[in-house]
Structure formats: C-alpha cells, structure tokens
Chains A and B, each alone.
Chain A
Amino acid sequence: MSNRDNDHRGRSARDTELLADVSRASDIIAPLWPLTSFVAVNPLLGLQHLPFDEATAVARRWLRARTHLTLAAFREAHGRGAITDADLRRAIIEVDSKLASQPSLEIGERTVDAVEIVLLDLLVGPDDKPRETAGDRVGRTDVGTVRTVSQLVAAWCAVFVDEAGVAWPMPRREHGFFRAWRELAQHDRRLRRLAGPTGMQWLAQLPDDPVEALATSLDALDVGDDRVEALREHLGRLPGWAGYARWNDEWALPNHHRPPLHLVDLLAAQVAATAAAAHGPAAPQPPQHQDQGVEELLEQRAAAVLAALGSTSEDASVTSAVRGVLQQVPPPVRKSMWLEAQEGNFRDRLLGLLSRPDPGPVTERPDVQAAFCIDVRSEGLVRHLQACGPYDTFGFAGFFGVPVRWRPLGSPESQPRCPPLLTADHEVAEQPLVPDDALGYLTAQRAAGAGHEAFHAAKGSLGGPFALAEAAGYLLGPAAAARTLAPGLLRRLTGLRTRRVGPPQTRPTVEAEHDDSSGLALEERVSFGEAIVRTMGLTRFARLVVLCGHGSHNVNNPHASSYDCGACGGAPGGPSARVAVAILNDPGVRAGLQERGIVVPDDTRFVAAQHDTVSDEVTVLDREAVPDSHERLVATFERDVAVAGERLARERAGRLPGAPGKVRVRGHDWAQVRPEWGLAGNAAFVVGPRSITAELDLACRVFLHSYDAEGDGDGSALETILTAPLVVGQWISAQYYFSSVDPDQFGAGDKTLHNPVGGIGVVLGEGGDLQVGLPAQAVGVGERRMHEPLRLFAAIQAPLERTEAIIQRNQVLQELIGGKWITVAGRSHGGEHWSIRSPDGTWTTWCPADDGVDHTNTSLEVR
C-alpha cells in the first residue's frame, strides 16, 4: 500500500479503522495485472496465509466460485484411469486418518470398513448443489441490489481506466474515480431508476472524500460489526475491477501516467450506490434460501452407497451406521479427497520416473552449455536438444537474474523485465550499433504511429467515420480475407518485411551513461554477473554458453502476453538474455569476477537466444557479434536446436486440435484462439541437477530448476530458488488450477466473447466485470480439459535438513507448504529414496499407492 500511505496520514481513528477493514476485506481479491504485461497470479493470493481448504472455503463463499472439479469430472478422470481406487484409498486416509481406525460394518453378507464406504460415496454419491445466496442481506439491503449496482459501477470503471485513448474521455477523471463517478452518476439513468429521487439526493450530499463517503454509506446501510463482510460482498461482485485496483494500489509503478483506480474509490462508489439504491422504490427481494438440506443430501448419499453395495436390507441400524460414517465427510472434504488422490497419482508417476538411477554429471568439459527458462515448455526443447548432442543444460528463471527495465529501440518508455516479486532499479536501453542505421527503422515506426493516429482521429469524431468506413473498407476487407484464407502467406510476408525494413543491429547498453539514468555501474554489473553464475550453479564454463529466453509470437490475442515469459513480467525473454550476455562477455566484468573467485576462461563466450514457443524456432540474438572463433560452435548449436524445435513442434502438434502440419503457422493466424498450450499441464517443480531428469520425457509438465547441492554449502542458492522461482511457479500453477476448475469465475471465460477494454483487459460481451485469469481456450477444448488441475508438487534434491531449515525460516514457505498449496518431496542425493513432507513438517519415505505398477516406465502426459 506504499502509494497510498501518504494519503492516510492525518486521518481520524475512525477512518484508519475503516481502512484496516478495507484491507482485510480485500484479502479475497488478488491483484490483476493489465494484459499488456500478463502476470500469472494465484487468484487467492490474499488468502494464501490460510491453508488451502480454508482459503477455498472463503472463495466459495464470497466469490461464488467452484474451487475444485465437480464430482462428475473427478469420476470421469477415474474412469480414464487418471485416478485409481488405490489412489483414493490412500487419499481418504490422508485427509481423515480417523476413518482408518473405525470399526467395520456388516452389510448384507459383507464386511465393509469405513474407508470403503467413503470410497463408494466418492464414486457414486450425489454431488452437492452450489449454494445460492440470493436472499442474504447486507445491512438494510440485499445482495441482489449489490450485484445490480456493481454492474452499473463497472461501466464507469471501463471508461475511467481507459489508456488506449478513447475519443471522449471521462470528464474529471483526473480527480480520482470516486469524485468523477459521483458527479457523473447523478445523470446515470439506470442508477436513478434504482435509487429514485431520494436516493440521488442522498448521493449528492455525500462527502467528496472516498473514505468518508464509504463510512457514511456503510452507516446509511446500518452495517455495524459485519463491516468486513459487507465490504467483501461488494468486492466479490467485481473481483476483476477490484483486482485491477489492487494492482494499482500495490504493484503498479508510481510514475505511470494513467489515472489510478484505487480500491477504496471503487468500494466507495459501490457501497454509495448500494446505499442510494436502498433509498429507492425497488423493494428488496424477500429472502429465498435455496440451501440444499444437509440432512437430505446425507440421506441420498447413504442410499447410494447401500445400493452400490447391493444391499436391499431395510435395517435402519445399517443405514444410520453408513450415515454416521458419511457424516464425517462433508461435501467439501469429499473433493479434497479426490484432489488428493489425483495429485497422489501424478506424484507417484513423477517420483517413479525420478527414481531411476542418476547417471551423474558428465565429467569432461562440454563444448556447449545452454541455460533455458524454468518454464515447462523449455523441458521439451531441452529434451530434444540433448537428443541431438552432448549439451550441458541448465534451468534458470528466464530473466537470468538481471532485474532491469528494458527500453526498446526508440521507445520513450521502459518496462520491467523481472518477476513481479522483484523491483527493477536499472534501466537498460536498446541502442543501434551504428546510429544512422536506425533512422529508417525509427521513421517507419513513427509513420506507423502516425497512420494509427490518422485512422483513429478520423474514426473517433462525429463527422469523420462515415466516409472513412466507405473508403477504408475496400482496403481492410481484402486484407482481412487474405489473413483469414491464407494465414501462412502472412507468415512469409512478415518474414520478408522484417528482412527489408526490420530493426537494425542493436545492442543493450548495460554500461552506465553520463547523460541519462540508463545502464549499470561496473560494480553493479560484476555483482549481477556473480549472482547469475552462482545461482545457476555454473562451476565450469564451456567454450560457448547459450542463455536462451522465450517469447511467444501470436496475433489478434488480448492474452498474447500470457504466453510470454512470466519471469520477465509477461514479456519475451530475449532482451533479458541479451543483457545478461552483455554483462558476462564484458572483459571488465570478467576481471571483477576473477577478484571474487570466479574464473571465466578467456575462450568462453556467452550468446543470447530466444525460443519462440508457438513455432519452437530458436533465434540466436546479436548473431553478428559472434566472433569467428565461436562461429562453428554457434552454427552447430543453431542446427541442432532447429532439429530439436522441429521435433518439439511435431510433439506439440499432437496435443493441439487442428491440422498438425500447420502448428508453426498458428502464431500468425488471426483466427486462432489456441496459438499454443502455454504452460497448460504444468504440475511439478523439480530442483536438482539436470542429470536426474536428463533421460526422461516429462511431457512439458515440469518446471526444471538446476541446483547443485554440493556447490551451495550455505544453502543460500537453494533459499533463493525456494523463495523466488518456486513461489512464482506456484502462482502460475494456481492460476492454471483455478482457471481450469472454474473458467467463468477464476478464468477469463470464453475467448470468442472477449471484448478488449481500455487497452488493459477484457470484459465479456457488452460489459461488466474485468475478466481475470486465463481464457477457457487456454486450458481446454470444449469439454476436454487440457490442464489437469493439480496443486504444485515440488521435488527437491538437496539435504533434507537444509530444505527443512529453509522452509522453517521463511514464512512464505511455511504458509505455502504447511497450507498444502505446495507438496514437497525431497531426497538428499541421487542414491536415496524420495521422502514426502507432510504439512506438519515430518518426512516419510515415499511409497506408491499401487505397488503393482512399474512407475519408472510411466508417462506424464495429461490423461
């Protein structure tokens, strides 16, 4: 809340208390980044201090969301074999160990224990209906009113946040959302209809200050001790706009020249509108609780279990005994059991694969080392690359340890290129090698901008659009037809254009400059260099070290940046790789590193590359800067990585719908809603040397972070990995999990209904709440789920005591691992058995649920 702190100084105790309540209420809202730089985030980020089961219960209550798959979906996975009865039995006991020790029942001629009864209930028992809260009250009014006024307020949010330059901007928006809204809402016909003249008069006399207005409005609604609940009721109706406001309050860079939408402004407007509507003529709806009777459901569940057992007995004591067992397993617990079972199944498969004997690292000096982002998509590329030759590879967060703000050639603005948990203090600008070379490119850029302005000036006026449509239609129409009917042609044309008027040769200026704030001083560069080398665990250097970032080229897609590198703040990773390379190739830096005990051989050359995850083509960046001495090595790498990319593209084509031959065209096809699968399928995070995963097919489902326990005596590198990349991995995993279990509430809904708003996000159809999360098309096809919603599983090869100590001393890890957001397995070295860490901190040796399966020869493909 740093941006707002100054605001709060000098407020009365009453206001401070209210702001504390606002802050508490907003726990149910996660920050929402603008789509220009999509950042995957756990939609329950604010509730992460609670255990998973409690946090999801809060979310179900206030966000009216599903937090687990339906029983039908779980059962379907069971039918496919993705969950077995053995998994379920183990999960039942894991969730509720009391069940294992309960006496068996005699039903008919059979003896059935409690676990078996619960198992049957999981398999055949009826699901509970989602709770309807239509009749609930908020102070003097009901939740229906809150829902309606929230929709009205949402329309104002859309015009307030506009960045894309709407022709007629919202009047007075520089005064802040609440003030501008209150003045304009006087003329909001829809609000007037709800609130009537009395309500509108009441609204007009509200104080100008949002905090005071919020307090007054809550009082007018007779909200007393349940203030947090009333606020949550409002926030839960607009989680998207509220999330965007939270981002503005807590994460946005202060120098942004957008009018910030503050959470307290939004809440003040919502609650004031509710209070105004409570004055209105519309009578509040009568309470209509539709809660399905718990008793009734229990009755049905018991009947289903008995019927499945083939019992026809009318014996009341049997029925009540079954009910007694089932009573211990309320509906949400059943889903926890299913989820636990599904995760257990995946865990068994992955640990089975990871239990193959570790071949150990190659001892001689490799020709080429290549570092890739930990992104799950890198796993496929690395796997195919290593099949082409003896490459020594590493997994590392795709910003390569240099948190900078990147200013592209000619751009007046720079963007942070690092995980959101870090702040980028340094700006690095892209400069042309030969200044004159850039003139043509810059002029072309300006001309494109002027064309954009000319078009929008004519379109955004009262008299201009008519002849414009007539004239421009004859150009745009055929172009649209060509893009639709021959998307491959566009790909070729783009390539042609880039070759002719593409950007000139440039370099990142990492050296600090005198005239402007861009660049880093030498000591800083040396420190960054040291951090890169140490965290990556580079103890020896090949002649060629490739740092390969990744980005995704796809068009006509508001969520395009969600396919880019998350570690680079939702942007392509190429620039970060270039910056890291520029630092590490700098002779001054090398000298500085030597002083710090890191000897980089003189014949070692770092080279940057970028992996396009749509086409799986890898481009070596700043190719012209490669010296002749390394030309052969780079050329060989290029050849091998091209083969690897082709194989990976073919592999991925099998998972994507549509013609497999066209998988590389998808990024240029403007009709395509699934350019690639992104990180769908991600389920685990492996920390350890690459040698333990080297010969495995992990089906692009695993984050791979290199870690060498021997070279990290004090555990500081492991601590960095567990508190930064693992946490970001968990955000991504949770984003996919929740977008997959409830694509409407936690996901962005159907992509073909998306309506981009203000250049920052999308709404569905005509308007309403800003959409959060990933589109339905990013996690599935129709009814088929491509992302198996699992919580993140981390397998860490490091001394268990070290891992445990790090977990113990970091609160974020205690919350995430202790709260079951992440399950951790560990082993001290390659020769040891894996152990699973239970939430309370005890480690038990892993044993698969079903011993009869050969877990070392299994597939990780989403089943």
Chain B
Amino acid sequence: MTLSETLVIVVPALPAVAAAAIAVARPDGERSSRWGVGAASVAFAAAIVVAVVVAVSGPVAAVVEGGDGDALVGLHATRVTALVGLLTTGVGLVVQSFAARNLQGDLRERRFFGLASLLTAATTSVAFAATLGLLGAAWIVAGLALAALVTHRSTWRPARRSARRTLRSLWVGDGALLVATLLAVVSIGEVDLRSPAGAAEELANASIPVLGGSVLSVVAVLLTVAGISRSALVPVHQWLPATIAAPTPVSALLHAGVVNGAGVLLVRLAPVFGSSAAATHLAFAAGAVTALYATTVMLVRSDVKGNLAWSTAGQMGFMTVQVAIGALAAALLHVVGHGMYKAALFLGAGNAVTAHLHHEQRPPPHVVAQSVRLGVALLVPAAALWAAYLVFHPHLSTAARVLVTVFAWATAARAADGWLRSAPFRPVPAVATAAFGAAAGVLAYVGGLTAVETFVAPALPAEVAEPVSAALLVATLAAIALVVAAVWLTPGERMRTLRSRVFALVLTSAPVASRLTTRGSSTGVAPVPESRSLRPGVEPATRST
C-alpha cells in the first residue's frame, strides 16, 4: 500500500478511531476534547496531502477488489471527493476546537466529542466511499450520529423532540438509499463509484426483477429522495429548523457538513442521477420550492439561529437546483462555500447583540440620490458579469449560465444598493467604491467558479444526460419573479392583506413550536434525586449524634 493510499484511509479512519477510543476508554471531558481535536487535526492535515497528491498525480484509491475488478469496499479520492473531504475534516477540526472551550465543563462533553468524531468520520466516508454500499452505511451512521448530537441536552424537552423529528425525517431518505443500494447490488453487484458512468450503463441495462422496467431510473429517483430528506428540502424540511435545540457547535457541524448530503450524493452519482429525467425534475421541483419557501421564512425570522437554519434550507434548495440543471461544478463550489459560510455564522451567532449596539452608534451615512443608487446597483453588476464571461470563459451550459447570471447579479446589486444606502463617503467616492466592489466581487465569483470548474473537470462528467432544460429554468425563475413582484408591489388593501397572510403563514410554519413546552432543564443540571435519603439508614447521620 502506497503512502497516499494509506493517507486516504487515515482521513476518515482517524476520527473513527478517536470516536471508538472515547467510547471505550471513557476519558474525562477535557481529555475527550483533546483526543477529538487531535484526531481531527491529523485527519485534516492528511486530507490536505491527499488533495495535493490527487491534484498533482490523479485519483488515489485504496480498495479491495472483487474477481471482476469491481471494488467491494474501499475509499477513493478524486479532485471532487478530496475537495469535499477537505471541507468535512476542516469543519470537524474547527468545530471541535471551538467546542473544546465552548462546552468546557459541560456534563456531556465526552459524549459530544465522541459523536462529533464519529460524525466527521461518517461524512468524510460519504465523500471518499468507493462503493455505494460503503457510502450508504456511512450515510446512515452520519444521520444517527447527528440525531444523537441533536439530543445533547436531553434533559430539555425541545431537544429530545427535535432529535425524534430528525430521526423520523432522516429515515425517509435512509430507507430510500438503502432500497436503492440493495436494488443496484442485486442487479449488477456492488456499484463501483470509481467509475459511476460505468455503473450507470450497467444499471441501464438491468431490469427490475419480477416487475420489469429499468433499474437505473428507479435508483436515480430513490437517490433523489435520499438527497431531499438529508438536505431538508420540502416536504421533509421541518427537522432542520428544529435542530436549533442543539448547542451551537452541533449546529455548525450540521449546517456545514451533514446537510450537504444531496449535493455530495447526487454529484458523486451524477451519471446515475442525471440519466433519469424523473429524478432531475423531482430534484428541481423540490429544490426550487424549498429555495423560495425557506428563503421567505428566513426573511421574517428575527432570531439569529432561526434565520440561519431557514437560510440553510433555502441554500440547499438552490444547490439541488444546480445539480438538477447539471451545473455540477457550481454545486460543488456551493457545497464548500456555503458550508464554511454557515459554520462561521453559527459559531459567531453570539455577536448579534454587540453588533446591533455598535451599528446604532455609527455616525450617520452620507446620502446618495436614489436614481444614482439604483442605476449603479442595477447596471454595474450586469456589466461586470458580461466582462467576467469575456475574461474567464467558464464552461457553462445555458441553464447554468442563466443561474449564475441571475443570482450573481442579484447578490451584487443588493450589496451595492446596501453600501450606497449607508454610504460611507461623499457621493462620488461612494459610487466609485460601490461600483468597484460590485465589479470585483462579480469577477472574483466568476473567476473562482471557473477555477473550481477547471480543477474538478477531470473528475466530473462534462454534462448529464437528462438535465432540467434552460427553458424550464427560465420559465420557473420568471414565474417566481412575476408573482413576487405582483404580491410585493401591487398597492391596495387586498394585496396588503395577502402580504399579512403570507407573513403569518411563514412565521407560524414551524409546527414543532405549536406543542412547545419548554419544560425541563436546559443546563443539564437537574436537581439531584434524593433517593438516597429516601432510604433511611443507608446514610447514617453519625455526624450529628
């Protein structure tokens, strides 16, 4: 076994070893944190080396092969999986290091570090698994470890309820993935993820025993269902906001890792997923609905963590749309970027009050005329996008180009508008900085996308067989834009009532809270049961006699 093959194994194995060691040796909380952080550090370092090796000399695999040369079990690092592996181990390291201080003295500190190590091992294995069987097993372990982490504060009722809900929702996807794996294995033997295209071909030729019909499309749809459940898409989205009942580090782990399931699964199995129109359209529908709905909920939430959780659901919807239209590299960029973004925002959630105080004490801004502000905000990002495409020549399908254009423009326009609304300088330098910032942001974004795309190109199919068409994407976006504009901009009492209704609907959309009883101890320090003193004589009070 070469050094690089060993390292591929070390990356997921070391956190798993730490988890097992913590479970068996039961060290105190302090030492558990050191073991967890130590294992994550080495795993992250190994992941960096693996990524470099893969970038320089191509994929690395450490697999046990069967007679036909197909992998039976093992791990496999490509440019795609190495990138995801960097994210999962990096987040595992940062979050555990954060938790070492954040959960210091916590009564369940050891349990946290054991489970966090296990979760890191599982998500990393999902990234690196060379076979569908191993991927499925790691996927299920990740879900269980997550649910166990959500119930960290088990003396507090909302935490227990949230964990139950998480388990129930995740089982929908776990069941689908289990069936998909069994079906595939029964049809073609173990699915070798080193060449998912080959597996797709074999699956296409196999037909379902007894019932008939192509195995491929059934497996593809089942994989989509698994992704929908793991990435908290409508209609199985409710579990994600409920997980705020877990401590901050758990949220950071969850929102940067586990929840990306749909992206990682569907990108890795793109040839299988993408050859079924039913699967891509199902993913597109769930993704688009979630992106619109969850983002709307996010807009009304005044609590930091609720805002972040609903934002994640919306982001997962967007990511799934990216996969569905075949923009695989863009989806990868999103998985990694959003993972880091959300982990950082969750860990820093405590800053909200101070930030608000500081913001109120800032000097009043300069004023930029509205027409100038809107002109800059609308036009500069558009021009910058046009220039960026000229400079970087990203290889994007039409649909992907539409998606990138619309959303990069929207972001840059909103940001430039926000900057100019609270202009820090006189109008001319304010406009100049806004224009420069928007243009630089757009160029960096398209440039970064192109770079990622170029980097992962060898490990990804150039396109999928049955993506959602650009026409459908455009039609969907246009329909959403029209409806939103109509509801938002139409004056009059009826529309006002409608807006109130939408507001109330999205604010009260978390059914968990309807039976909310916040009883129980959030601190984990329940009053000590006095059972000992209930048995008189066991504890003789000799001191006083």
Binding site for B on A (CB under 8 A): 35-36, 66, 70-73, 75-76, 85, 110, 116, 119-120, 123-127, 147-148, 151-152, 155-156, 158-159, 161-164, 166-168, 170-172, 183-191, 193-194, 300, 303-310, 408, 410-413, 442-443, 445-474, 476-481, 484-485, 555-558, 560-561, 657-658, 669-674, 743-744, 747, 749-750, 752-769, 776-777, 780-784
Contact = CB atoms under 8 A, between A and B. Distances in A.
Contacts of B103: 752
Contacts of A457: 414-415, 417-418, 421
B360 A413 contact: yes
A735 B425 CA distance: 45
A750 B406 CA distance: 42
B104 A471 contact: no
Interface string B340-358: 1111110111111111110
Given A124-B536, A458-B411, A560 B527 contact: no
A461 B159 contact: no
Contacts of B93: 481, 485
21 contacts: A72-B527, A123-B541, A148-B514, A152-B508, A166-B307, A304-B534, A305-B536, A308-B541, A309-B545, A408-B361, A410-B361, A443-B425, A450-B423, A458-B411, A464-B410, A478-B340, A556-B348, A558-B352, A752-B248, A765-B159, A767-B513
Given A147-B517, A473-B341, A127 B414 contact: no
B500 interface: yes
A300 B531 CA distance: 12
Contacts of A473: 336-342, 344
B474 to A, nearest CB: 14
Contact of B341 (A116, A476, A557, A561): A476
A171 B523 contact: no
Interface stretch (B17-25, B61-69, B292-300): B292-300
A757 B306 CA distance: 9
B314 interface: yes
Given A766-B158, A782-B106, A461 B504 contact: no
Given A164-B302, A471-B445, A480-B94, A765 B414 contact: no
Contacts of B354: 555, 557-558, 560
B212 interface: no
A659 B422 CA distance: 43
Chain B residues touching A, majority SS: helix
Interface stretch (B125-133, B213-221, B226-234, B239-247): B239-247
A410 B334 CA distance: 39
Nearest to A452: B359
Contacts, number: 451
Nearest to B416: A454
B204 to A, nearest CB: 33
B508 A757 contact: no
B304 interface: yes
A481 B90 contact: yes
A755 B415 contact: no
Interface size class of B (residues with CB under 8 A): 35 or more
Contacts of B371: none
Contact of B422 (A72, A310, A453): A453
Contact of A442 (B348, B363, B444): B363
B489 interface: no
A446 B94 contact: no
Given A73-B528, A187-B501, A446-B424, 4 more contacts: A164-B359, A464-B415, A473-B340, A558-B353
A150 to B, nearest CB: 9
A565 to B, nearest CB: 15
Given A473-B341, A755-B306, A769-B518, A155 B508 contact: yes
Contacts of B514: 148, 151-152, 190, 193-194
Contacts of B340: 473-474, 476-478, 480
B98 A671 contact: yes
Contacts of B362: 410-411, 445-446, 448-449
A687 to B, nearest CB: 34
Nearest to A743: B523
B441 A471 contact: yes
A304 B530 CA distance: 12
A300 B344 contact: no
Contacts of A658: 101, 104
B159 A752 contact: no
Contacts of A461: 299, 410, 414
A560 B353 contact: yes
B342 A469 contact: yes
A764 B292 contact: no
Given A35-B353, A168-B300, A759-B352, A476 B522 contact: no
A735 B292 CA distance: 44
Contacts of B432: none
A750 B250 CA distance: 14
B361 A184 contact: no
Given A470-B338, A481-B90, A673 B102 contact: yes
Nearest to B304: A756
B302 A158 contact: yes
Contacts of A764: 156, 158, 518, 522
A753 B512 contact: no
B109 to A, nearest CB: 8
A448 B424 CA distance: 8
Contacts of B416: 454
Interface string B87-107: 000100110011111111111
A750 B339 CA distance: 26
Contacts of B412: 467
B491 interface: no
Contacts of A152: 508, 513-514
B401 interface: no
A823 to B, nearest CB: 25
Contact of A556 (B105, B245, B351, B499): B351
Interface string B497-541: 001110111011111111111101111110111100110110111
A600 to B, nearest CB: 34
Contacts of A449: 359, 362-363, 365, 422, 424
Contacts of B247: 750, 752-753
Contacts of A305: 536
A152 B507 CA distance: 11
A768 B106 CA distance: 23
B505 A189 contact: yes
A765 B245 contact: yes
B344 A471 contact: no
B407 A466 contact: yes
A184 B299 contact: no
B30 to A, nearest CB: 9
Contacts of B299: 166-168, 460-462
Contacts of A669: 101
Nearest to B424: A446
Nearest to A300: B534
B102 A776 contact: no
A188 B504 contact: yes
A303 B537 CA distance: 10
A126 B530 contact: yes
B248 A155 contact: no
A303 B504 CA distance: 58
B536 A303 contact: yes
Contacts of A412: 361, 363-364
Nearest to B404: A467
A594 B103 CA distance: 58
Contacts of A755: 244, 303-306, 349
Nearest to A472: B341
Given A166-B302, A168-B503, A413 B361 contact: yes
Contacts of A781: 104-105
Nearest to A554: B354
Nearest to A674: B104
B318 interface: yes
Contact of A66 (B404, B527, B537): B527
B297 to A, nearest CB: 10
Counting chain A CB atoms within 10 Å of each CB, the highest count among B97, B245, B404, B411 belongs to B411
